[in-house]
Amino acid sequence: MRFSSLGSGSKGNATIVQHNKTVIMVDCGFSGRSAEKKLLQKNIEPSSINAILITHEHKDHTSGIERLSQKYRIPVWTNKGTYKAINQQEFHQINFFSSHNNFSINDMKISPFPVPHDAKEPVQFIFTDGDKKLAVLSDLGKITPHIKQKLNSVDALMLECNHDSSMLEIGKYPRFLKERVGGGLGHLSNKQSAEFLLEIDTSKLTQLVASHISENNNTHKKVKQTVSQTLGCSENWINTVCQNNGIDWLEV
């Protein structure tokens, strides 16, 4: 199993997970044309995608899904809460999952789990090929006990490190937006994410990728410094996803 990102941040998000011939896209917050170009840069034909999973309805995660689904006849998977929030979009095929129950797409098993975010029914996912586990965790304002339990002993983790709290506080955002981003239904700070890693079993973790890094309230250097100092690891061990180019393929 391997994974990649087409880009991550407030201007658009999309993650690709592949095992054998099964290709799954998680969200697509880029325009259809931009997503097509980014996929080809990762050597993925859009027509080879087996499913698009939706984490929540915000535009930076959904704006390109309708076009891709219709043009390439890709089934879309979501929960009913998120579907109701974006029901103005028309997909080639819609499949519903429960936010608490596992489901499978071909040879890949997917485990959704709820997260606290200011959306209708937001979830994130754990993927397994029967051997290794990859967790994708982004767009949440705090870590819950259930999340800690779900993410124990994963082999790879794509983890939101959205903002540096000091940069957010002194930055140009209006007060209401600072409170939204830094609140319990907003986004994880570097410190929150680093401390979360201390609270779960990371003994199997071979790939750590920091995602959804704010271009206004964070830097990739600050992410690496905070996480490495907290974990006592090398900064070079921590991968970061950029907004424009994403990240190249990583093996789980």
Q: How confident is the model at residue 87 (pLDDT cuts 50, 70, 90)?
A: confident
Q: What value does the mean pLDDT of the chain take? A: 98
Does 159 have pLDDT greater than 90?
yes
Give me the CATH number covering residue 75: 3.60.15.10
Supply the pTM of this predicted model. Answer: 0.97
88-145 residue pLDDT tens:
789 999 999 999 999 999 999 999 999 999 999 999 999 999 999 999 999 999 999 9
pLDDT for 88? 79
Which strand ranges, in their side-by-side order, compose the sheet holding 123-128? 103-105, 108-114, 123-128, 133-137, 156-160, 207-211, 238-240
pLDDT for 102? 98
pLDDT for 35? 98
* d(C-alpha 200, C-alpha 102), whole Å: 21
174-185 residue pLDDT tens:
999 999 999 999
Domain ranges, residue 39: 2-251
Does 189 have pLDDT greater than 90?
yes
Domains in the chain, number: 1
Query: How many other CB atoms sit within 10 Å of the CB of residue 216?
Result: 13
63-78 residue pLDDT tens:
999 999 999 999 999 9
Tell me the sheet residues that pair with 51: 24
Helix intervals (H) in the chain: 32-41, 59-62, 65-72, 80-85, 145-150, 165-170, 175-182, 190-198, 220-231
pLDDT for 154? 98
Query: How many other CB atoms sit within 10 Å of the CB of residue 252?
Result: 20
Tell me the sheet residues that pair with 24: 17, 51
Q: How confident is the model at residue 13 (pLDDT cuts 50, 70, 90)?
A: very high
207-246 residue pLDDT tens:
999 999 999 999 999 999 999 999 999 999 999 999 999 9
